[in-house]
Chains A and B, each alone.
Chain A
Amino acid sequence: MHELSIAMQLVEQIVAIAEENRWPRVDEVELEAGALRQVIPEMMQMAFAEATDQTLAQGALLSIRDIPAKARCNQCTLEFEPEPDNFLCPECRVADVEVLEGNQIILKTVSCEAES
């Protein structure tokens, strides 16, 4: 259910960009979602459709790229890919990490095919 909150923030940014560029509509949006955010693509698509309803971005295609998680062990500095429910370092067997990747939700690109 957090997908809708994220989609609403996303649509605000997209619409601002479209207005800035005087686009009649938005055709495509590329999003990167870190694995630790647990964004479910199907839920995100539904939320996006809902949040863009009656905006310049209505009907836009949303593509979501999943970014794998990456963590660095604070004890032995080993970098590894944690699972959402397991942050144990494969070497130390202790969950004491700095998360390097996987927390981000990034709007990468917004496009409009219409001539402006």
Chain B
Amino acid sequence: MKVNVVKNVLQANDIVANKNRQTFKESQTLAINLISSPGSGKTTLLEKTIPALNPDSQSIVIVGDLQTTRDADRLSDKAYQVTQINTGLSCHLYANQIAESLGDLNFKEADFLFIENVGNLVCPGEFDLGENVKVVLLSIPEGDDKVAKYPTIFRVADLVLLTKIDLIDALDFDLQRVRDDLSKLNANVQLIEFSSHTGAGMEQWLDWLRIKQTESIGTQARFIKE
């Protein structure tokens, strides 16, 4: 006996992701999925970003790591609320882990939800969490060939943050190569040269976040009218 199924294998995850997206719309929260290799500066970025967004806005954070609560500990006095997900052996977050974490967070008050995904440039791209935007970090020490090597995640990024830009002169990093590789994947992706250390690109990044947050509220307003 043969059964014709024709079903999306990742459907279970996608259904929960869509529910999350609806939840974020209703609470007018911009959900940002931060994706990068381990050590590219995601937690440091949040340590600098969240206080800079204050006092006008509330930020909450969900951090995913295989083990430890170190990232959540680092951020606990910066963000309004922080929760850590330990994924064990899983190399990415699932939508249902976000849905479960939302139960512990007072997200309705939040303007920004930062989801720090597990450090990995491959698997997080496969699993929709219901986020509004994907921000991919690429740090200068990782090398200028990573966009071409991991094209999938860079193609679906809304923004690429080129972190640790203050190290560019010390390392043999070809910025134009990154721009060229990105332009082959997605003409609409933005790139910000950024340094948590010097503050370079910080204003541009904060403006981008505020614009996206306003846009997501705008979408919500239209949604209610329809």
Chain A residues with a Cβ under 8 A of chain B: 1-2, 5-6, 9-10, 12-13, 17, 21, 23, 28, 31, 36-38, 84-88, 94-96, 104-113, 116
What are the interface flags for B43-70 relative to A under an 8 Å C-beta threshold, 1 for contact and 0 otherwise? 0000000000000000000000000000
Checking A1, A87, A116 against B1 with a beta-carbon cut-off of 8 angstroms, the contacting residue is A116
Known pairs A2-B123, A13-B5. 18 more at Cβ < 8 A? A1-B122, A2-B91, A5-B90, A5-B127, A13-B9, A36-B152, A86-B184, A87-B186, A94-B187, A96-B187, A106-B6, A106-B8, A106-B9, A107-B6, A107-B7, A109-B2, A111-B1, A111-B3
User: Is the C-beta of B200 less than 8 angstroms from some C-beta in chain A?
Assistant: no
Chain B residues with a Cβ under 8 A of chain A: 1-10, 12-13, 90-92, 122-123, 126-127, 148, 151-152, 155, 181, 183-188
21 contacts between A and B (CB under 8 A): A1-B122, A2-B91, A2-B92, A5-B90, A5-B127, A6-B10, A9-B12, A13-B5, A13-B7, A13-B9, A17-B5, A23-B1, A31-B9, A36-B152, A86-B185, A87-B185, A105-B8, A105-B9, A108-B4, A110-B3, A110-B5
Cβ-defined contact, A105 with B10, below 8 A: yes
Instruction: Name the CB-closest residue of A to B183.
Output: A95
Cβ-defined contact, A109 with B4, below 8 A: yes
CA–CA, A38 to B130, complex, Å?
22
Residues of A with C-beta under 8 A to B185: 85-87, 95
Nearest CB of A to B121, in Å: 11
